[in-house]
């Protein structure tokens, strides 16, 4: 994960110098990388390629998140084929809410600062 320079001046200066305009970066833990992959993949029309997920993370996506997927399927928000899991037309109306189902506990806590 990385963040670009906030200052437009610094951003442009780096670009002109042929450098990426990265201000700071950090390596995410494997579990967080996996969850980000899921979230970003679900937000595109093709969804999650199960074979690619298995190859990258050495686990079956549908086994690892069976309960969440079952619930989302019962609500009519996702569909599964032999090769993919993706949002339905109905699910495409709520991609951010569906993505939250795959946030790690740590990320959920951080986003809920100040919650009752």
What does the pLDDT look like over 83-103, one tens digit per residue?
999 999 999 999 999 999 999
Q: How much of the chain exceeds pLDDT 90, in percent? A: 65
Instruction: For residue range 52-65, list pLDDT tens digits in order.
Output: 999 999 999 999 99
Q: Tell me which of 3-7, 13-17, 24-28, 108-112 is least confident.
A: 24-28
Parent domain of 39: 29-105
In a domain, 2, yes or no: no
In a domain, 13, yes or no: no
* pTM for the full predicted model: 0.73
Domain at 71, CATH number: 1.10.10.920
In a domain, 61, yes or no: yes
Contact 4, 22 (CB under 8 A): yes
Contacts of 78 (CB under 8 A, 6+ apart): 42, 47, 69, 72, 85, 86, 87, 88, 91, 98
In the chain, the number of structural domains is: 1
pLDDT for 58: 95
In a domain, 1, yes or no: no
In a domain, 54, yes or no: yes
């Amino acid at each position: 994960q990385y963040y670009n320079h906030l200052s437009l001046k610094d951003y442009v200066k780096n670009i002109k110098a042929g450098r990426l305009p990265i201000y700071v970066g950090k390596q995410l833990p494997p579990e967080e990388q996996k969850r980000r992959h899921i979230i970003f993949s679900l937000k595109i029309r093709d969804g999650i390629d199960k074979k690619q997920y298995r190859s990258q993370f050495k686990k079956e996506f549908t086994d690892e998140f069976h309960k969440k997927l079952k619930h989302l399927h019962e609500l009519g928000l996702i569909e599964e084929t032999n090769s993919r899991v993706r949002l339905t037309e109905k699910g495409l109306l709520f991609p951010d809410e569906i993505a939250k189902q795959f946030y790690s506990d740590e990320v959920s806590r951080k986003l809920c600062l100040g919650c009752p």
